[in-house]
Amino acid sequence: MIKAVIFDLDNTLVDFLKMKKLSCRAAIDAMIGAGLNVEHEEAIKVLFELYDKYGLEEKTIFQKFLKKLTGKVNYRILANGIAAYRRVRSGFLEPYPNVDYILLKLKSRGIKLGIVTDAPKLKAWVRLASMKLSNYFDVVIAFEDTKKLKPSKLPFKAALKELRLNPSECLMVGDWPERDIKGAKKLGMRTCFARYGNPKVKKSNADYEISNIKMILDIIKI
């Protein structure tokens, strides 16, 4: 019997990649408007190459971006880019459709809820708070809790310990087979691939697949 559902955060509860792309496009437009001499699409290419290298959570990505393009950081250009990025990010940060309904439904039936994310802890909580979802979760395990990224067993073990449940009693829902699904399977957790968050994946190797978060109810049968 499933007693808890553990979710990945980005691209499972929130469309993080879409938010990131929209925010970055706004930031580049603002930097070009402030005097950065570069074509928009070339700038997008360079910026996301840097994200691939340093990670999507890199705090100084725009400084690295400006140094890459111009050899220095112009703080007027930088400030305009950061301000535009933050405006779009804060306005867009919303859960996928039906997320709040499903969390409420699960919670009302006594199912425990958790998050296991590779994001920094404060950023994870801020995202949840911004979407008004933070009160639903019994546990949030972020990078600082174990210093290990998925698919390491440690983040999943930390969640299980706080939930006081066995792996077989938990369902892990995530969009990244190589991290979310693989890591949870190592411990014997049941797994569910959120195809809506990563539709390009051909094979997930998960126990279940869902194209809408409401389908979780069919898995748990509540």
* 7 neighbors 127 (Cβ within 8 angstroms): no
Please determine whether the domains at 4-14+95-220 and 17-92 fall in the same fold group of CATH.
Answer: no
Q: At what angle do helices 61-70 and 75-92 cross, to 10 degrees?
A: 140
When pLDDT is averaged across residues 128-141 and rounded to a whole number, the result is 95
Say how far apart CA 188 and CA 24 lie, in whole Å: 38
Question: Average pLDDT, whole number, for the chain?
Answer: 95
Give the pLDDT confidence score for residue 56 in this predicted structure: 86
Percent of the chain with pLDDT over 70: 100
Q: Report the C-alpha dihedral over residues 117, 122, 123, 126, rounded to 10 degrees.
A: 110
Task: Please say whether the structural domain 4-14+95-220 has been given the CATH code 3.40.50.1000.
Answer: yes
* 210 neighbors 96 (Cβ within 8 angstroms): no
Q: Give the residue among 138, 187, 144 at the shortest CA–CA distance from 166.
A: 187
pLDDT tens string 95-126 = 999 999 999 999 999 999 999 999 999 989 98
17-92 — its CATH code? 1.10.150.520
Q: State the alpha helices, DSSP H only, in the chain.
A: 16-33, 40-54, 61-70, 75-92, 99-108, 121-130, 143-146, 153-163, 182-186, 216-220
- Domain locations along the chain: 4-14+95-220, 17-92
Sign of the CA dihedral with 83 first, then 88, 91, and 94 last: negative
When pLDDT is averaged across residues 4-8 and rounded to a whole number, the result is 98
pTM of the model: 0.83
* 138 neighbors 100 (Cβ within 8 angstroms): no
Strand order, beta sheet including 139-141: 139-141, 112-116, 4-7, 170-174, 190-194, 208-210
Say how far apart CA 83 and CA 70 lie, in whole Å: 20
